[in-house]
Copies of this chain bind each other. A is one copy, B any other.
Amino acid sequence: MSTKSSSTVSANIGSEQSVLFRRPLQLACGTVLEEHSLTFETYGQLNDAGTNAILICHALSGDHHAAGTNKDNVVGWWDSYIGPGKPIDTDVFFVVCPNNIGSCFGSTGPASPAPATGNVWGAEFPVLEVSDWVKSQTYLMEHLLIDCWAAIIGGSLGGMQAMYWAVNYPKKLKHAVVIASSLKLSAQNIAFNEVARRAIQSDPNFHQGNFIEHQTRPTQGLALARMIGHLTYLSDHALGRKFGRLVHSGDLDSAEKELVEFEVSSYLNYQGDKFARRFDANSYILITKMLDYFDLGANFENNIKDAFKQAACKFLVISFSSDWRFSPDCSKLIVDALIAADKDVSYLEIESDQGHDAFLLPNKRYEQGLQGYLKHIAKTLFKVAV
């Protein structure tokens, strides 16, 4: 295939597009969205047979800008893994990454106008489930004239979408790559999400979710929510290696102890404030609830084996050793259920001290594993010599 280098061609490989679906989307909660738009990026070319399409599913705070450098000079959130010559090779695959509904980067969400009133949805935006994201992605699939995905790939909440596709749309994908994900959240994970939501909801600028109407934003609460999340996506060891007990200013022996701040504190505060400027508080509440509600076995009397029996695709499951929010044990439960359901599954546990965030970060073995699996897909699905 291509001999282009991965570093020089990765700029501007995708560009933002939007599509408005003027057909109803029946949501799991009972509400019908009469129309909705999806903003997305694509990278690479769909082959004539339409067999080389990959869907990338983003997680809680992700967006459609997964790869390349966009017009605002922002590098995509998974640029280390998507691009020419990279593990998800855009010289070989046609890669699609939508921003999902309920989020806040162009697709229909709480900050969009509600068609019925013309006012911003705000707190009135309907509750969503992973099934709604997937159903909306089927609309995009049709729009792009894709009949079957070569692979659906996602980390964390993205992995939940990949599993949901596999179980509920078995003819629509050949491979599901489920990274740092879980069949359902633990009580601890739900609790962290609850604290984050309360941080937002108790910000006086939240106004029960109608903050845009009040021309304000609950940035303090949202920053706090992000700090809690961010902190739990990192491992103790990674934080220790990065910051230790370094102080940001002042000195522990100085008389002005009030001014002393540890670097880890200033880092977290910075991350929280940065996030609060770009994310919508209602979206954060909505999407953390999607995580809480997800339960792949719920419609199968909690029998995950029965759920996976519906699937027809092959699976690659990946976990990271220091991820304590979506631990290797969570991935092993997925693998065990797939084996029990007699499915074809490969499992890769990656040594990393980066915690849950590891699924977004460069890591040689992770890259090699993903690359090997995807080369195999290309070879078997459309006979590309790679």
Contact = CB atoms under 8 A, between A and B. Distances in A.
A195 B228 contact: yes
Interface stretch (A34-42, A262-270, A364-372): A262-270
A353 interface: no
Nearest to A327: B236
Contacts of A49: none
B295 A262 contact: no
A32 to B, nearest CB: 12
A157 to B, nearest CB: 17
A206 to B, nearest CB: 11
A255 interface: yes
B227 A186 contact: no
A276 to B, nearest CB: 11
Contact of A264 (B190, B227, B242, B289): B190
B195 A236 contact: no
Interface residues of A, number: 52
A144 interface: no
Contacts of A253: 298
A381 interface: no
Interface stretch (A56-64, A114-122, A197-205): A197-205
Nearest to A197: B265
A190 B204 CA distance: 27
Given A184-B245, A199-B199, A239 B191 contact: yes
A89 to B, nearest CB: 37
B243 A224 contact: no
A202 B220 contact: yes
Contacts of A231: 188, 191-192, 195
A301 interface: no
Contacts of A258: 127
Contacts of A192: 231
Contact of A236 (B186, B240, B243, B262): B186
Given A127-B257, A239-B187, A245-B184, A268 B195 contact: yes
A360 to B, nearest CB: 19
A210 B219 CA distance: 23
A262 to B, nearest CB: 5
A190 B228 contact: no
A244 interface: yes
A227 B198 contact: yes
Given A29-B257, A220-B202, A295-B252, A239 B194 contact: no
Contact of A293 (B184, B187, B257): B257
A268 B189 CA distance: 13
Interface string A212-247: 000000001101100110010011100110111100
Q: Which of A187, A227, A228, A292 has the most CB of B within 10 A?
A: A187
B187 A243 contact: yes
Interface of A: 29-30, 127, 184-188, 190-192, 194-195, 198-199, 202-204, 220-221, 223-224, 227-228, 231, 234-236, 239-240, 242-245, 252-253, 255, 257-258, 260, 262, 264-265, 268-269, 272, 289, 292-293, 295, 298, 324
